[in-house]
Structure 1
Amino acid sequence: MATQTDKEQTVNVIERLLKTDIGGFLYQQQIGSLHGRIFRSMQGLIRILKLTFLEFMPIFFTAIAAIIIAFLQKPLLASVMILVIPTGLFLIVKQISSQKGIRVALLRGKERVDGKVVEMLGGIETIRVLNTAPFEVNKVEAIAESQRRIEMRHHVYMALFDATKYLNEAFFYIIVIVLSIYLASQGVISRGDILVYSILFLSITNPLREIHKILDQAHESSIQVNDLYNLLNQPLDVSFNKNGLNLRIRSGIKQPVISAKNLYFSYADKEGILKNISLQIKRGEHIGIVGVSGCGKTTFIHILLKLVHGNKGEMYLFNEKLQDISRETIAEKIAYVPQKPFIFSGTIKANILYGCHREISEDELIEGAKNARILGEIQGALGGFSGRVTENGNNLSGGQRQRLAIARVMLQSPELIIFDEATSALDNTNEAIIQQNIERVFKGKTIISIAHRLTTLKSADRILVFDAGKIIQEGNFDSLSKTKGLFQDFLLQRNKVEAKK
């Protein structure tokens, strides 16, 4: 039962988190902290099950049997004996209620350590180059010291409560022995019965002591289980609406693929990131998007992909309201290559085929890698399509990771292809050839390219210039380069840099 529950709840919580609002709960969490919370919450659930069925139930029935025997022997003494139970339970309730805050603080402290460790391991190259390991260790030590102090205070309180519980048991034990001696002296019971009632009392208090320990451990686990149910009850992202439309796109239709009207977006703790965005993108257009960092380019794409959701205004995709379109349609009709693609531990082949919604032949796989300009490296240094990739693609260069992601897209059949600085780590030659391959493979499809390297947008039908959450310029490369404005400023800055080289 415990193992089955462990499996089911682990699957449930992971499935829930993958569907949780990215801009809400997940936006506020450290990955390491969240992983630690999941792990400990599952531990807490399994611990409660084991405490209940493997420890509490046998001990509980042992105590009940001792009480029944005592009442059958002598109801008066049995009545005195069982008085130890309510006073003991009162003490355990006080102990549990007084330690709840400390236990929550201890759990959150452990999560902070988890988050810090994962954060450091993710930046270990930078830490080593800058020789900041002592600084990072000091930060972990400070968190650990805070944990130690809380833990010591917790143990002191627990020791005091344990001592009080032992005094409670000793008090009633003395009463039972004194009363048994008195009854024996009056001839009501035999002298041997004094030992019998002593043993019966211990048969009650020993299980009671274990029950105290079990209830205390169960309370600690219940806090962890509460975390589990909080995770399971995180609100789903609205894009997982079961009533979403699964669209079929007919060929030859010229209606706008994307249409936005007075679109606004901001996070709860930030000023408006997008402000009054209105635009239309037709089928077959190649759209370039440029702008300074933080101007809203990627946020606009994230809204289009339903990763975040506009606060105000309207967005249409394939002539349907974006909020009405299912995640299945988004996955089928849109291909997306971010600047930092998702590369996971596995084979080269598994990474390229990730997210493909149809069977891919060996010839198609080779052609996709060839179009992404990575086939030669796969067949050489990377060990073929069965070559291993480590976590996050750490055994690959930045350019190799990006080209694997581009190969992944080359095998899909989308209506809309989005590149968010997807070739930023490539050299000029590879970038130019891949650009040509993209335009050939996806001819007639709608392409959106976010780029800092402006020359990659020379073939774009239109370029949208973002600044401070607004579209301030629009036109093709030639017209914008001749018009005074932010785009021309970018070109002039690039020319100055090139001249210095």
Structure 2
Amino acid sequence: YLKKNFSYVKADTLQQAIKLFIQLGLNVFVLWVGALLVTHNRLSIGQLMTYNALLAYFVNPLQNIINLQTKLQSARVANNRLNEVYLVDSEFKVDRPVKSETQLIGPIELQNVSYQYGYGQKVLEAVNLRIMPNEKLTIVGMSGSGKSTLVKLLVDFFEPTEGKVLFNQQDTQTIDKKTLRQFVNYIPQTPYIFSGTIWDNLKLGNRPGVTQADIIHACELAEIKTDIEKMPLQFETLLDEDGNTLSGGQKQRLTIARALLSPAQVLIFDESTSGLDTITEGLLVDHLMALEEKTIIFIAHRLAIAKKTNNILVLENGRVVETGTHEMLVSAQGRYYQLLNH
């Protein structure tokens, strides 16, 4: 990168020098020849000055031609980048038969699922898992154990290298992606806030018939209502792109409130409470656990969340090494017990 940058600076400096040389060189040439003509009474001083002033109409187009080369290069690079986007096939190109969310209500199963990025090592290997409707599950494990990859397979961000992901016996490869993503809501660690009011941000992707009372209730569950009410314009407060006026924890709670207003029956929280203090996180998790009609999957490094869920999945090097409740895994004194005590 440094070599390329150095080459660019050298080429740019050379072009600037060429432009300046042409401009000053022509000025010197015109004044030199003009001065000789004036001394021989073949040209008046006024004519020479007029000719010299009109020289700019000739020099400027020359400079623009030199500048055109860099603009053409920039246009070529921009065209290549646009084509990288436009020439990629849409993920919605293939028509899939399962288009009703009611067909997805039932257990979620992973049958012998493996996944690898490109030609690298397997991130997940022979994972078997069954999640019952309305279950509360926590996936724990060391960084790089495949936790995020596992849940992204549930939203069909990736297709499994081997095995199947099933929703109520329906393979994700046969489920319409829009239908699947209305049924499963993935909330990443890095929240997405766009330019607009807090109302606008909360209304993104809402289920039909959401009322103002529903939005306020969702904010209460997400422990963000008090923070919004302290703002000068409350729900009408304008946020810039990325919501820089909010703290990291406030942005995370705002996206959690938005997820609660979606039609999704399955909510996946991928370290979505990492920016919160332990007290606020505890209250928020308690509210989420009380949602009896939703399946909730947590990915957590803080094992305080795992203690509250009715099932825990421990991943290590892409494999499921333990499953069970907090009490069962502590008494087994296996990998979960080691994570808990370190």
SS for the counterpart of 1:231 is helix
Change (3 A) 1:484 1:351: same
Partner of 1:83: none
- Is contact 2:188–2:270 with CA below 8 Å preserved after alignment? yes
Which structure has the larger Rg? 1
Measure the CA separation in 2 of the matches of 1:237 and 1:264. Answer: 24
Partner of 1:478: 327
- Is contact 2:101–2:183 with CA below 8 Å preserved after alignment? no
SS for the counterpart of 2:236 is coil
Structure 1 residue 345 corresponds to structure 2 residue 195: yes
- Is contact 1:240–1:326 with CA below 8 Å preserved after alignment? no
Residue type of the partner of 1:246? K
SS for the counterpart of 2:227 is helix
The Cα of 1:479 is off from its aligned counterpart by 0.2
Partner of 1:428: 278
For residues 15-45 of structure 1, the C-alpha deviation after alignment (integer angstroms, 9 at most, x for no partner) is xxxxxxxxxxxxxxxxxxxxxxxxxxxxxxx
Residue type of the partner of 1:149? K
Provide the aligned length of Structure 1 versus Structure 2.
301
Measure the CA separation in 1 of the matches of 2:306 and 2:78. Answer: 52
The Cα of 1:233 is off from its aligned counterpart by 4.0
The Cα of 1:228 is off from its aligned counterpart by 5.5
- Is contact 2:289–2:309 with CA below 8 Å preserved after alignment? no
Whichever structure has more helix as a proportion of its residues is 1
Point out which structure has higher relative CO (alpha carbons under 8 A, 6+ apart): 2
The Cα of 1:152 is off from its aligned counterpart by 5.5
Partner of 2:311: 462
The Cα of 1:322 is off from its aligned counterpart by 0.8
Correspondences of 1:215-254 after superposition (within 5 Å): 220=73, 223-224=76-77, 226-227=79-80, 230-236=83-89, 238=91, 240-243=93-96, 245-249=98-102
SS for the counterpart of 1:458 is helix
Which stretch of the first structure deviates more once superposed, 464-473 or 351-360?
A: 351-360
SS for the counterpart of 1:424 is coil
Change (3 A) 1:457 1:382: farther
For residues 380-407 of structure 1, the C-alpha deviation after alignment (integer angstroms, 9 at most, x for no partner) is 1363001122321222112111110111
Change (3 A) 1:290 1:228: closer
Measure the CA separation in 1 of the matches of 2:306 and 2:130. Answer: 18
Percent pairwise identity = 29
Residue type of the partner of 1:231? E
Partner of 2:39: none
For residues 309-342 of structure 1, the C-alpha deviation after alignment (integer angstroms, 9 at most, x for no partner) is 2222211123211122222112311122222111
Structure 1 residue 409 corresponds to structure 2 residue 282: no
Partner of 1:147: 8
Partner of 2:231: 381
Partner of 1:325: 175
The Cα of 1:433 is off from its aligned counterpart by 1.9
Instruction: Give the TM-score of the pair, scaled to structure 1.
Output: 0.54
Structure 1 residue 446 corresponds to structure 2 residue 280: no
Whichever structure has more strand as a proportion of its residues is 2
Q: Where in structure 2 are there 5+ consecutive unaligned residues? A: 20-57
Structure 1 residue 302 corresponds to structure 2 residue 152: yes
The Cα of 1:378 is off from its aligned counterpart by 0.4
Instruction: Give the TM-score of the pair, scaled to structure 2.
Output: 0.77
CA RMSD of the aligned region, Å?
3.2
- Is contact 1:295–1:467 with CA below 8 Å preserved after alignment? yes
Which stretch of the first structure deviates more once superposed, 401-410 or 351-360?
A: 351-360
Correspondences of 1:171-210 after superposition (within 5 Å): none
- Is contact 2:103–2:168 with CA below 8 Å preserved after alignment? no
